[in-house]
Amino acid sequence: MLTVKDLKGIEGKKVLVRVDFNVPHKGSEISDDNRIRAAIPTIQELLNKGARVVLMSHLGKVDWKKLKKGEKTLEDIEGQMKKNDLAIAVEPLKARLKEALGREVKVSFCKSTKGAELKAAVAALEDGSVLLVQNTRYEAGEEKNDPELAKEWASLVDAFVMDAFGSAHRAHASTYGVPEILKGEGKPVAIGFLVEKEVSALSRCVEVKKEDRPYVAILGGLKVTDKIQVIDTLLKKCDYIIIGGAMAYTFRKVLGEKIGSSFLDESALDYAKKCLEEANGRIILPVDSVITDSFEPVEGRKVSVCDGDIPEGFEGVDIGPKSSKKFAEIISKAKMVFWNGPMGVFEQAEFQSGTKAVCEAIRDLKGKAFTVCGGGDSASAVKQFGYKADFSHVSTGGGASLEMIQNDGHLPGIDIIR
């Protein structure tokens, strides 16, 4: 697979880079520009080689079904995004990009996603300059991988670089259609530095080497059904799977334990039973829980620790101290760890201990094991609690990293570059 470093002879050439600038924002206030900063090394590499860089990204989601008949103009779409507080004036995005690239780089913006205006904006690019294109999702054909749209975008450029890991599990026009066409025309397609790092870390978690054993997976979060495929894959690869979070109660129910009013994924009971049988003791479950009589943080709610059976009227909202200790012991022997999903309702201060205990156990492995946090809520927790630097890799893509694990290292937006 070509990487952006391998691209040669691109001076004066137009290169489309699919980036992930889907930044958290409220109106035009960007609360975190990490995603913009994370794309800079790839953009800079191309600029240093004298390329003309066209950047495309999605930002939020247009609800096409909610637009009335005939309401498909840019103004209609922007109107809807504004109403849902998803619109972002492009100036702040462009300004942050310029700030991150340095003053000397010329950055322009095109408010059209296709047609003569976009064509003219790309044609006006100078060597070593950047054009940021309007939100790709302003085109209804983007998410459908519309061949006409992909053809038009591909016709604008001489090469393609995929650096949007968080969107690589989606075969959209900008992530799949464009590189597919360019590849067919014999033009160079490559991955950027960000995707290269993600692929290298997550591939190691699916192509397990002897020296990476014991390999321990830690899964948490809400629903078993959301993670069935990932559990299946990990059961084949891992030495142990630790299961915490709400997910654990579905497994504990199968074992005949009382779970009170804890979250139960009823439709996954048979699946959980099958997993426990197949795992032959390799699935490790919590032995105690932090329980409460009210999920909502109302004054006077009861919170306590409970071993084994959970009484009626109470629900488990975090793993208890004995479980934290048990999990930490298993983690301490690991040579490789993959973690996805919090151990409890980490959004509430009283139920963070289990998730923090896993962070600490992984921190203690620093320098001794390869440790990966698979994005999503667990990555937010890792950052919030200040453990990001203790991990070998914290993925930027929640959905993408899970799909990459469950599909044995494959994602459409990356396979098309291969």
Choice between 180 and 377, CB closer to ligand AMP: 377
**Does 376 interact with ligand AMP (rule: CB under 6 A)?**
yes
Pairing status of strand 159-162 against strand 189-191: parallel
What are the C-alpha distances in Å from 125 to residues 55, 74, 134, 338? 12, 23, 16, 43
* Binding-residue pattern over the window 231 to 270 for ligand AMP, x denoting contact by CB under 6 A: --------------xx----------------x-------
Provide, rounded to whole angstroms, the least separation between the CB of residue 195 and ligand AMP.
Answer: 23
What are the C-alpha distances in Å from 186 to residues 147, 179, 295? 18, 10, 57
At 39, which helix (H) or strand (E)? helix 34-48
Residue length of the chain:
418
Among residues 20, 152, 377, 403, which is the contact residue for ligand AMP, using CB under 6 A?
377
227 closest CA partner among 239, 237, 235: 235
Among residues 1, 140, 222, 306, which is the contact residue for ligand AMP, using CB under 6 A?
222
- Residue 4 in contact with residue 41, Cβ under 8 Å? no
263 closest CA partner among 244, 247, 283: 247
Catalytic residue among 18, 35, 49, 52: 35
**Does 341 interact with ligand AMP (rule: CB under 6 A)?**
yes
The residue number whose beta carbon is nearest to ligand AMP equals: 221
Query: Of the ranges 135-143, 204-212, 339-347, 403-411, which one interacts with ligand AMP (CB under 6 A)?
Result: 339-347
Among residues 177, 179, 260, 342, which is the contact residue for ligand AMP, using CB under 6 A?
342
Report the alpha-carbon distance of residue 252 to residue 307 in Å, rounded.
Answer: 12
With CB under 6 A, what is the number of residues at the site for ligand AMP?
A: 17
Provide, rounded to whole angstroms, the least separation between the CB of residue 170 and ligand AMP.
Answer: 18
Side chain identity at 336, as an amino acid letter? M
Catalytic residue among 60, 79, 399, 409: 399
Provide, rounded to whole angstroms, the least separation between the CB of residue 318 and ligand AMP.
Answer: 6
- The helices-and-strands tally (H runs, E runs) of the chain is 15, 17
Catalytic residue among 316, 341, 376, 413: 376
**Does 320 interact with ligand AMP (rule: CB under 6 A)?**
no
Q: Which residues, other chains included, contact 379 with Cβ-Cβ below 8 Å and sequence gap of 6+?
A: 373, 394, 395, 396, 398
| Interacting residues toward ligand AMP by CB under 6 A | 220-223, 226, 245-246, 263, 316-317, 341-342, 344-345, 347, 376-377
Catalytic positions: 35, 223, 376, 399
